[in-house]
Amino acid sequence: MTAGAFIVAGALAGLAAGVAGAGAPIRRRVTVAAVLVWVACALEAAAAIRVLSTGHPIVLHFAELLPLTGVDLVLTPLGAFFVLLVAMVAVPATLHGIGYAPHGLDSRMAACAVPIFVTVLLLVPAAGSVATFMVLWELMALASLSLVLVDHGRREAARSAGTWYAVITHVGAALILVAFLILAAHSDGQSFAALRLGARHLAPDVRALVFVLALVGFGSKAGVVPFHVWLPKAHPEAPSPVSALMSGAMVALGVYGIVLVGDVVLGGGPVWWWLVVLALGAASALFGSLHAASSTDMKRLLAYSTTDNVGLALLALGASGLFDATRHPLLAALGLVAALVLLLNHAAFKGALFLSAGSVQTAAGTRDLDQLGGLLRRMPQTGAFFLVAAAAICALPPLNGFIGEWLLFQSLLHGADIGSTAGEIAIPLAVAAMALTAGLTVVAFVKAAGIGFLGRPRSEGADAAVEVPATMRMGVGLLVGVCIVIGVVPTLILPAVERAVRTALPGVGPLSLAHGVNLQLAGLRGVLEPAALAAAMVIAVAGVMGLRRVLARRPAPRVAEAWGCGRELQTARMQYTATSFAEPVQRVFDDVLRPVQDLDVSHVAESRYFVESVTFRNAVDDGIERGLYRPVIGVVRRWGRAARQLQPGSVHRYLAYGLGALVLVLVALAVIG
């Protein structure tokens, strides 16, 4: 079987999964579809691994499949990296989906849409021409939209989220299409290779226009500030396996699009392009992490954290472009490696976190952190997995998040004196933004893990929670395993990442980051020995545990009630809640978050000295949604209302419109002709 046949067979398996999902009886449909999806993922991953190991792209053309243009599939090493990323999330997500199915994934529509969504996600990075890319891109948007709307009958919030997502994603797609059309108009053909040749001779401002259009279009899919507003609405409303796919895989494809247009097709650009990318990345990272730190809904928190992580990847991408524009190819490659590793890590830990949030929701009946608590005792495996994934996203060694942040920091550190004034001002600020983001991420995830899984349960649902079925736990466990493996032996993936980077930056020589199990920056001074560090940590923990056992006179602990300031009875209401945990951060960043707070104290009728009840409400809504989108929506509403007056229902008026239009056309013709 040739490599191309793998891609075709994978796509067919994915379609078969969709058919099975729509056709099979309700008991079996999700399982059968999931198994076929795994086959599809395995076949596409095999093709991707082949491309990454040989470095030669797979080129396929089907003239009959799409009228006028045909379908072009070109799987480059860069695309292959993203195919592997999608497969890495899709297999655990569908496995988790088998257990999750009774909670909204076993309808015919959902069981059909999930496999189609995964198949399209697998194929988008393989698209080789504008027509193919746009068809797949739109299919991806529609499949995910239908999955966001799965619960539309029961919840108003799902309908609203669907509208937001549909509008933003389609405006984005329109901008991407315009960018591609401009390029295609100046090229001989519509394949990306032809576009690349045509783009060489474009005027600088046309190139800049194309880049900005693509940046906004793909940025809206990637959830970059200020186009992120759909994320905190759509991710919480979608079923959790779908959230994991959307956040881990689909959002990463938005960044893929920016790399595709900026680096592959346009071949890099002036410094200011990349400063814009850098600024967008830094703003997204800060805004996302700040809102994640103050969110109390577990999935909303994760959605904001997606904006944060994509922001970090864009920060790395912007730095990479900056180094490329100032002729530092080695640093540019390192920055892009960091961006890709950050995306891969994000897919692993955010996938695991979304899936475990789904497990929590099915077990406790809520995802509101203020209603959770004590879940680690009730759901030991899900809880442990969540804790490890949270540690990974906080960039704690020896997990994968740390490797990504180390690479990003090293690329910024070595690029601090690149000889471009704007760049030299931007880099320290980028480091500061990255650092504050990292700190706020710790706040967000200590809160999510501590409030959600530790302490006493804050509601009856959380108290009654029991461990979820094995498929759900295995799905999360797979992704957590990836987090640990990449964290300890990152050299397993780095050669593939370097190959992928060379598609985007062809001028770069071998980077060879991997030295055995160690990381070494070629030509730069930076070494990391993650495996040795992990071993040292394990040995030290074992050693200290042994020491405690030896030194302590009475090793087995006695269980006692926690100290309650003299009170005998501790209740769940005495604990800190997610809101109170985030209060210091909220107070420090008051000017950015603008929380809405209400304090209502009612007194006993007889005396004002006695309080009857205290009501406190604290809400943090999205400042960008409030300040940017609401006014626009208001204007559109007013226009709509004004346009309504044109339609009073009078036939005479409509006839007059017809006459007027006819006269106008005739006049216009007379003037032109």
- Of 257 and 281, the one with the shorter C-beta distance to other proteins is 281
Q: Which of residues 61-90 bind other proteins (CB under 8 A)?
A: none
Among 576, 616, 654, 657, the residue binding other proteins under the rule CB under 8 A is 576
Q: Which of residues 294-333 bind other proteins (CB under 8 A)?
A: none
What is the DSSP code (8-state) at residue 556? S
Q: Whole-number minimum distance, CB 542 to other proteins, in Å? A: 8
Phi-psi region of 2 (alpha: psi -120 to 50; beta: other; left: phi over 0): beta
Q: Which of residues 32-61 bind other proteins (CB under 8 A)?
A: none
- Of 145 and 387, the one with the shorter C-beta distance to other proteins is 387
Among 25, 64, 156, 554, the residue binding other proteins under the rule CB under 8 A is 554
Instruction: Give the per-residue SS3 of 566-619.
Output: CCCCCCHHHCCCHHHHHHHHHHHCHHHHCCEEEEEEEECCCCCCCEEEEEEEEE
Produce one character per residue of 290-315: b if its CB has 16 or more CB atoms within 10 Å, e if not: bbbbbbbbbbbbbbbbbbbbbbbbbb
| CA angle (453, 401, 263) in 5-degree steps | 135
Q: Which of residues 447-466 bind other proteins (CB under 8 A)?
A: 447, 449-451, 454-456
Q: Whole-number minimum distance, CB 580 to other proteins, in Å? A: 7
Among 68, 466, 559, 671, the residue binding other proteins under the rule CB under 8 A is 559
Both tokens of 569, joined, read: 């009875």
Helix (H) or strand (E) holding 317: helix 298-325
3-state secondary structure of 67: coil
Q: Contact at 8 Å (CB) between 296 and 578?
A: yes
566 binds other proteins (CB under 8 A): no
Q: Which of residues 507-546 bind other proteins (CB under 8 A)?
A: 524-529, 532-533, 536-537, 540-541, 543-545
Q: Whole-number minimum distance, CB 507 to other proteins, in Å? A: 23
- Of 543 and 631, the one with the shorter C-beta distance to other proteins is 543
- Of 554 and 608, the one with the shorter C-beta distance to other proteins is 554
Among 111, 581, 620, 622, the residue binding other proteins under the rule CB under 8 A is 581
431 binds other proteins (CB under 8 A): yes
- Of 427 and 497, the one with the shorter C-beta distance to other proteins is 427
Evaluate the omega torsion of the peptide bond into residue 77 and state whether it is cis, within 30 degrees of 0. no
- Strand 596-603 to strand 518-520: parallel, antiparallel, or no bridges (unpaired)? unpaired
Q: Contact at 8 Å (CB) between 575 and 458?
A: yes
Among 27, 548, 630, 637, the residue binding other proteins under the rule CB under 8 A is 548
636 binds other proteins (CB under 8 A): no
Scanning 28-36, 271-279, 302-310, 574-582 for contacts with other proteins by CB under 8 A, the matching segment is 574-582
Both tokens of 247, joined, read: 């956040």
Neighbour tally for 665: CB within 10 Å: 10
Among 396, 422, 517, 628, the residue binding other proteins under the rule CB under 8 A is 396
Q: Whole-number minimum distance, CB 616 to other proteins, in Å? A: 16
Both tokens of 173, joined, read: 């797609």
- Of 241 and 457, the one with the shorter C-beta distance to other proteins is 457
Among 88, 183, 348, 434, the residue binding other proteins under the rule CB under 8 A is 434
Scanning 206-214, 238-246, 576-584, 591-599 for contacts with other proteins by CB under 8 A, the matching segment is 576-584
CA distance 531 to 134: 43
Residues 6+ apart with CB under 8 A from 75: 7, 47, 48, 51, 57, 58, 83, 125, 126
Among 25, 156, 203, 553, the residue binding other proteins under the rule CB under 8 A is 553
Could you tell me how far CA 43 lies from the centroid of its own chain? 24
Scanning 310-318, 351-359, 553-561, 623-631 for contacts with other proteins by CB under 8 A, the matching segment is 553-561
Residues 6+ apart with CB under 8 A from 488: 398, 530, 531, 534
Helix (H) or strand (E) holding 318: helix 298-325
CA distance 622 to 601: 27
Scanning 36-44, 50-58, 167-175, 368-376 for contacts with other proteins by CB under 8 A, the matching segment is 368-376
- Of 124 and 376, the one with the shorter C-beta distance to other proteins is 376
Among 552, 601, 665, 668, the residue binding other proteins under the rule CB under 8 A is 552
Could you tell me how far CA 364 lies from the centroid of its own chain? 25
Among 409, 411, 468, 622, the residue binding other proteins under the rule CB under 8 A is 409
| CA angle (523, 493, 269) in 5-degree steps | 55
Q: Whole-number minimum distance, CB 498 to other proteins, in Å? A: 21
Q: Contact at 8 Å (CB) between 447 and 369?
A: yes
- Of 257 and 457, the one with the shorter C-beta distance to other proteins is 457
CA distance 194 to 129: 9
Among 107, 160, 459, 575, the residue binding other proteins under the rule CB under 8 A is 575
Among 65, 185, 574, 664, the residue binding other proteins under the rule CB under 8 A is 574
Q: Which of residues 194-233 bind other proteins (CB under 8 A)?
A: none
Among 134, 413, 474, 592, the residue binding other proteins under the rule CB under 8 A is 413
422 binds other proteins (CB under 8 A): no
Among 391, 478, 494, 593, the residue binding other proteins under the rule CB under 8 A is 391
592 binds other proteins (CB under 8 A): no
Q: Contact at 8 Å (CB) between 323 and 418?
A: yes
The contact mask relative to other proteins for 326-365 (x = CB under 8 A, - = no) is ----------------------------------------
Q: Whole-number minimum distance, CB 579 to other proteins, in Å? A: 11
Among 125, 374, 404, 475, the residue binding other proteins under the rule CB under 8 A is 374
Q: Whole-number minimum distance, CB 472 to other proteins, in Å? A: 20
| CA angle (251, 254, 255) in 5-degree steps | 100
Alpha helix stretches (DSSP H) within 24-107: 29-54, 77-100
The CA-atom distances, in angstroms, between 418 and each of 138, 152, 319, 404, 472 are 40, 52, 11, 22, 48
Among 201, 558, 641, 644, the residue binding other proteins under the rule CB under 8 A is 558
Among 23, 428, 507, 510, the residue binding other proteins under the rule CB under 8 A is 428
Starting from the edge strand earliest in sequence, which strands make up the sheet with 518-520, in order?
514-515, 518-520, 527-528
3-state secondary structure of 514: strand
Among 1, 68, 203, 560, the residue binding other proteins under the rule CB under 8 A is 560
Evaluate the omega torsion of the peptide bond into residue 239 and state whether it is cis, within 30 degrees of 0. no
